[in-house]
């Protein structure tokens, strides 16, 4: 398989049909495709932040593992209290390999429901290039303005590509 796909990560991210075409049974192909999802769940559990204060200086590192194996763009919202302790973290939007929308109304609703005072968002660029697009910057500005109206500070917007990220705050 490594010869066919070039790397272990390429094998684990390959479509089930491609793995079957390479000679694997459907069960084995589905199992291999589950490994990135299981890895994310394992790292979330191992690094459980619900009792830890999240440093705004290293918030990008907090988000990177949450995108392991994701082939489509998705947006993850992190809500925190005044001490930057995690209240909620989850995927709030998924898209295609080319983009996803920012569900501002849903984000504001979650922030209000969790009584958050700080928020951060992160999304991935499956293309492997972490540079922000004009839409990324515009959506960040709109979300920042909207959240500030309800007393929530948007502390950062992280863009993850592979194992690298950039911070729009920086």
C-beta of residue 161 within 8 angstroms of C-beta of residue 130 = yes
Let me know: does 59 contact 155? Beta carbons within 8 Å: yes
| pTM of the entire predicted model | 0.78
| 79: pLDDT strictly greater than 90 | yes
* Residue 153 DSSP class: E
Report the distance separating Cα 167 and Cα 95, nearest Å. 21
> Token match 């999802």: residue?
37
Q: Which pLDDT value is given to residue 74?
A: 93
Strands (E), the chain: 74-80, 86-94, 118-124, 153-161, 164-167
Assign 48 a pLDDT band (cuts: 50, 70, 90): low
**In the beta sheet, which residues pair with residue 122?**
76, 158
pLDDT band at 157, cuts 50/70/90? very high
């Amino acid at each position: 398989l490594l010869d066919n796909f070039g790397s272990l990560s390429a094998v684990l991210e390959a479509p089930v049909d491609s793995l079957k075409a390479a000679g694997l049974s459907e069960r084995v192909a589905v199992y291999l495709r589950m490994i990135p999802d299981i890895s994310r769940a394992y790292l979330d559990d191992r690094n459980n932040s619900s009792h830890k204060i999240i440093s705004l200086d290293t918030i990008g590192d907090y988000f990177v593992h949450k995108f392991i194996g994701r082939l489509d763009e998705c947006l993850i919202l992190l809500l925190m209290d005044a001490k930057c302790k995690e209240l909620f973290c989850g995927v709030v939007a998924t898209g295609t390999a080319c983009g996803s929308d920012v569900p501002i109304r849903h984000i504001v609703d979650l922030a209000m429901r969790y009584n958050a005072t700080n928020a951060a968002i992160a999304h991935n660029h499956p293309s492997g290039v972490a540079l922000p697009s004009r839409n990324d910057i515009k959506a960040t500005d709109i979300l920042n303005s909207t959240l500030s109206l309800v007393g929530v500070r948007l502390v950062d917007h992280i863009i993850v590509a592979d194992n690298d990220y950039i911070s729009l705050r920086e």
